[in-house]
Amino acid sequence: MDYDVVVIGAGAAGLICARTLGRAGLTTLVLEASARAGGRMRDVADPRARGAIELGAEFVHGRPAITYDLLAEFGATVVDDADGSFTLRDGALEPAGRDAFAETAALLRGAFDRADESVEALLRRSDRGAPSETTAWARRLVGGFDAADPARASARAIAEEWAGDAAAGGAQSRPLGGYAPLVAHLVRTLDPARVHVRYETVATRVAREANGVTVDARARGADVRIRARRAIVTVPIGVLQAAPGAHGAIAFEPPLPAHVADAIAAIAMGPVVKVVARFREPVWESLGDGAWRDGAFFSGDEAFPTVWTQLPVRADFLVAWAGGPAAARFAGASGDACIAAALGAIGRYFGDASAIEDAFEVAYVHDWQRDPFARGAYSYVLVGGERARAVLARPVDGALAFAGEAAAEGGEGGTVAGALQSGLRAAHDAVAALAR
């Protein structure tokens, strides 16, 4: 055996998993397809920005203990979001005035009273033929927050997520300085004697054998073969679903047991288009006679249904966000087209397109849907797939286990906290099994 464990993927799940394995005395090799660690935690180095520009994860949802403990290890400051919310109505921003999160959560609780159905079916029943503003908000929030298509998403699974600690509308914060310091901390605290990370190494095949696994990979044009006692696969669900032979796709031999293959098929990757636009100065704070200077979140029927600031930190950039069906409308669009649409929307939110254009300096976007090692932003559960995350969270057998946000339980699916929870769990399972 070359190693005790091969971990595939160096995102939140893979890094915390490898760190825990190393500390337990197990030799571990991490294979990472890209040239960097962090996966969907990904920032942009913009020295002129006042704050961390995040192309992927930005918030901590709820008060997840593992995430908070990890941030505390290196003394990170965590800042709660400000709550000023505004809605764009008839071309003008007004204070949101209603708690759309609480109303949506109340509607979703209806999912626990009956057999699983789609979020859309649940909302239609609640509308009884007359679409209300509440269900319109619910559709927008399930798309925006869960990156989910309401017509396909499991009402029960979404309701469970909305009832948990990471609930939409609940406590939400950001690590000051972004998630990059957390990634650096995880990499720094890998035991160098036991844990090795190979970047630009794309796993292509995992073969389970009598006493372990053989993992094949391609590293800068060369074939690599590693033997280990166990493989822990932390790649996104979209990568697990990629067609055989597609860039990043992993072949499993023998084929995965039916219940595991079914679980993978019962989870979807939700799309997100997140544009971060930096301005010469935070011009929106003085528009409208300063009426929304303390606004944190802005929503409306726009191509980007949500725009947010970094409040309480006064930064010089805005985030324009489209998730779920709103993001799917950008399928195939170039980065420049997404940026142009985001600036147009920001101009309409703040009622002064030319002031926004004049102050605009630069914008950033990453195409998560076309990134072969992500294939979307984060996962949601399809109708009937309520048990899928729990199935993925259990080891397949002695030689193979999955981890990552899609395999997170307790309503944390889709988040960094869920990825950390799941990576830690997979490491503990491996330590228990391999130490025997």
Ligand X SMILES: Cc1cc2nc3c(=O)[nH]c(=O)nc-3n(C[C@H](O)[C@H](O)[C@H](O)COP(=O)(O)OP(=O)(O)OC[C@H]3O[C@@H](n4cnc5c(N)ncnc54)[C@H](O)[C@@H]3O)c2cc1C
Q: Phi, psi at residue 302, to the nearest 5°? A: -125, 165
Q: How far is the CB of 355 from ligand X (least distance, A)?
A: 27
Least distance (Å) between residue 179 CB and ligand X:
8
Q: Would strands 201-209 and 400-402 be described as parallel, antiparallel, or unpaired?
A: unpaired
Strand 222-233 versus strand 60-61 pairing type: unpaired
**Comparison of 31 and 320: residue with beta carbon closer to ligand X:** 31
Q: Which is nearer to ligand X, 116 or 160 (CB)?
A: 160
Shortest approach of ligand X to residue 152 CB, angstroms?
19
Torsion (CA) 93, 98, 101, 107 in degrees, nearest 10: -130
CA–CA dist 103, 13 (Å, integer): 33
Taking Cα atoms as reference points, which of 356, 349, 338 lies closest to residue 300? 349
Distance, in Å, from the CA atom of 37 to the CA atom of 146, rounded to the nearest integer, reads 24
Q: Which is nearer to ligand X, 43 or 58 (CB)?
A: 58
Shortest distance, position 217 Cβ to ligand X, whole Å? 7
What's the CA gap between 46 and 222, in Å, rounded? 34
Which helix or strand (DSSP H or E) is residue 84 part of? none
Q: Which is nearer to ligand X, 123 or 231 (CB)?
A: 231
Q: Kind of pairing, strands 400-402 and 28-31?
A: unpaired
| Residue 66 beta carbon to ligand X: minimum distance, rounded to whole angstroms | 12
> Looking at beta carbons only, is 26 or 249 nearer to ligand X?
249
Instruction: Tell me how far, at minimum, the Cβ of 40 lies from ligand X, in Å.
Output: 3
- Closest CB to ligand X among residues 150, 178: 178
Smallest distance from ligand X to CB 223, Å: 14
- Residue 289 C-beta: closest distance to ligand X, Å: 31
Least distance between ligand X and beta carbon 417 (Å):
6
Which residues form the interface with ligand X (CB under 6 A)? 8-14, 31-34, 39-41, 56-59, 61, 202-203, 234-236, 239, 248, 250, 272, 274, 368, 373-374, 377-378, 404-405, 414-417, 419
Rounded Cα distance between 348 and 78, Å, is: 32
Per-position DSSP letters for 303-332, written without gaps between them: SS-EEE--TTS--SEEEEEEETHHHHTTTT
Report the DSSP beta bridge partners of residue 400: 231, 397
d(CA 141, CA 169): 10
Cα–Cα distance measured from residue 62 to residue 420, given in angstroms and rounded to the nearest whole number: 14
Between residues 28 and 34, which has the closer beta carbon with respect to ligand X? 34
Please give the Cα distance from 430 to 32 (Å, whole number).
Answer: 20
| Cβ distance to ligand X smaller for residue 43 or 120 | 43
Separation CA 141–CA 322 (nearest Å): 11
Among residues 203 and 283, whose Cβ is nearest to ligand X?
203
How far does CA 167 lie from the centroid of its chain?
14
